[in-house]
Amino acid sequence: MENTEDVRRRLLKILQEKSVERGRFQLRSGRWSDYYVDGKQTTLDAEGSYLIGKLLYARIGVSGANPRGIGGVTLGADPIVTAVSMVSYLEGSPIPAFIIRKEPKGHGTERWIEGLKNIEPGSHVAVVEDVLTTGGTLLEGVRHTREAGFEVSHVYTLIDRQEGGREAIEAESLVLDSLFTRDELLAE
């Protein structure tokens, strides 16, 4: 299943089966929704993780972003950045992963970002998130990454809920690439 479109179709099926829940849910943004996307049900699945790594690695290559690292805000981004990093290694072009904490470490180094020793200071890196709603978490991750001295121009997300996140990201002059949109995810 190495054809990119086949990988994409299979990943969409796994997302629809494992990550979409119907009901009434309050989102992190405070908004209410009649569906919830629990991306971790797919990103922590062995096959789902592999497919995400393959697709994002391919998308990163096509975009020309050429990042020297890939990271995101814990917890949603953790399995995604690990998957991309692993696939990049297997493909012979390693991209180290980094994790952005939700708050700085309270002891020792007191840093926001883990994995910095694997990435040259000042490098161009990409930031990812599992589900994009308003863009707040992704933009927070970009801010902390830039404050750590890295350049960010491209951000990636597994699902774009199409609720204003893209517009918020693009307003900050960032390029957003989403593997799937809400419309694709909820299509019957």
Q: How confident is the model at residue 42 (pLDDT cuts 50, 70, 90)?
A: very high
The whole-angstrom separation of Cα 22 and Cα 125 is 35
What is the per-residue pLDDT for 62? 78
What is the per-residue pLDDT for 108? 79
* Statement: residue 97 has pLDDT above 80: yes
Give me 143's structure tokens.
Answer: 């801010």
What is the per-residue pLDDT for 64? 80
- Among 52-61, 62-71, 130-139, 145-154, where is mean pLDDT lowest? 62-71
pTM of the full structure:
0.94
The whole-angstrom separation of Cα 152 and Cα 139 is 11
Domain count, the chain: 1
Domain, as residue range, for 96: 4-186
Listed residue (152, 96, 155) closest to 122, CA to CA: 152
The whole-angstrom separation of Cα 175 and Cα 166 is 9
Q: Which residue has the tokens 């970002």?
A: 113
What is the per-residue pLDDT for 86? 97
Q: What is the CATH number of the domain that holds 28?
A: 3.40.50.2020
The whole-angstrom separation of Cα 143 and Cα 137 is 10
Tell how strand 113-114 and strand 70-73 pair up: unpaired
Please state, as a whole number, how many other Cβ atoms lie within 10 Å of the Cβ of residue 39: 24
How confident is the model over 130-154, as a mean pLDDT? 96
Amino acid found at 13: K
- Are the beta carbons of 70 and 99 closer than 8 angstroms? no
